[in-house]
Structure 1
């Protein structure tokens, strides 16, 4: 299907694409620069090619030229004049745009998160919580931490220790999160969404 959804959150704009098209279908309606064509050719995975093209469609939906997007040597996406964050998982690709630093992450809910949870969070689900809710809650925590990591843009931040949700409420749409760092702790507002078997979270500084 084409463009899936746009969501406005305060001064942030979220654009979501649900990937169902082939590479050839996604090329329709796009005029790529020579640099973009060259970058597309370096992507040997069809999945990555489809994600690359979907991101360009989302930029067009945001009324931005596709060539406005560029990357640092570390692979961080940049736009002149505003901040951008990008995430993709299986059938979904999304971008977040804001005049303030922003981070976004989307993940599909799978039982695998239950095995990974002790590696990235000290929070433990209550014993009376059913498995489906546990999967959603731990996936939510993962997306919060990933979104925080993106918005802080500090490579020295430790994923387990420094990205915190001190009073985590499972499946709550709004939470407060904290990034601890020698340069000073920072508080962030995070907002999570649930649907289509996915969880996605956007983080912005207070």
Structure 2
């Protein structure tokens, strides 16, 4: 299918989401790939990963860009040639990009019970909030998505999800919360937005207006 959903948030921030239902052959049409992207495709053994990679290039086209406009830093952080900010995510059959005038990050994750088993690896500041919930799969997936989004936005090594990324308690009905990234001399505040998409959780962060 074409574009699954788009979201328009503040600061000229746009999110584009794709649900991958097409064949790899179909997704290879109507897009232009850089030599680097062609080489990256050759290294991907998973067809689903290749289809995800290609669907992201279709999302770029929808946003008014193409693969040649996309470059990566030495730490793997994506950049656009017009200096707008971009973040990219892929999980199973969903891919998404977020483009903004301000630094942003995005993540989409399938909601699965196993996140409760790995929670001690990324939950610290949020422990009391999570412990008060009977079955916190959704909330844990939001917290993970928020921290992953901050990690992508930050783009530097040495950032720990548990030690440096802090997410405030929230209600699933609110669709948003606040988070902080505290690392070295940085103390950054973000608004976190989240929503369920089928059995996945989308989360993205934008610098808070009340920092």
- After TM superposition, is the score higher than 0.5? yes
Deviations 1:75-111, CA, capped at 9 Å, x for gaps: 2211122111001111100000011110001101000
Residue number among 190, 193, 197 corresponding to 2:199 in the alignment = 197
For the aligned residue pairs, the C-alpha RMSD in angstroms reads 1.6
| Distance of 2:7 and 2:175 partners within structure 1 | 14
Deviation at 1:191, TM superposition (A): 0.7
Contact 1:40 1:49 in 2 (8 A): yes
Aligned counterparts, 1:22-61, within 5 A = 22-61=23-62
Give the Cα–Cα distance (whole angstroms) in 1 for the partners of residues 121 and 193 of structure 2: 23
Q: TM-score, length-normalised on structure 2?
A: 0.89
Residue 151 of structure 2 is matched in structure 1 by: 149
Contact 2:52 2:93 in 1 (8 A): no
Displacement of 1:51: 1.2
1:159 aligned to which of 147, 158, 161 = 161
C-alpha displacement at 1:126, in angstroms?
A: 4.5
Structure 2 residue ranges without an equivalent (≥5): none
Q: What do the CA deviations read for 1:122-179 (whole angstroms, capped 9, x no partner)?
A: 324355x443xx11011111001111111122312221011001x3114231211111
Tell me, which stretches of 5 or more residues in structure 1 are unaligned? Answer: none
170 and 118 in structure 1: CA distance in 2 versus 1, 3 angstrom threshold: farther
TM (normalized to structure 1)? 0.91
SS of 1:100's partner is coil
Specify the alignment match of 1:108 in structure 2: 110
Partner of 1:138: 140
For the residues of structure 2 that align with 1:33 and 1:156, how far apart are their CA atoms?
A: 30
Distance 1:72 1:126, change over 3 A: closer
Whole-angstrom CA distance in 2 between matches of 1:39 and 1:195? 28
Report how many residues are paired: 202
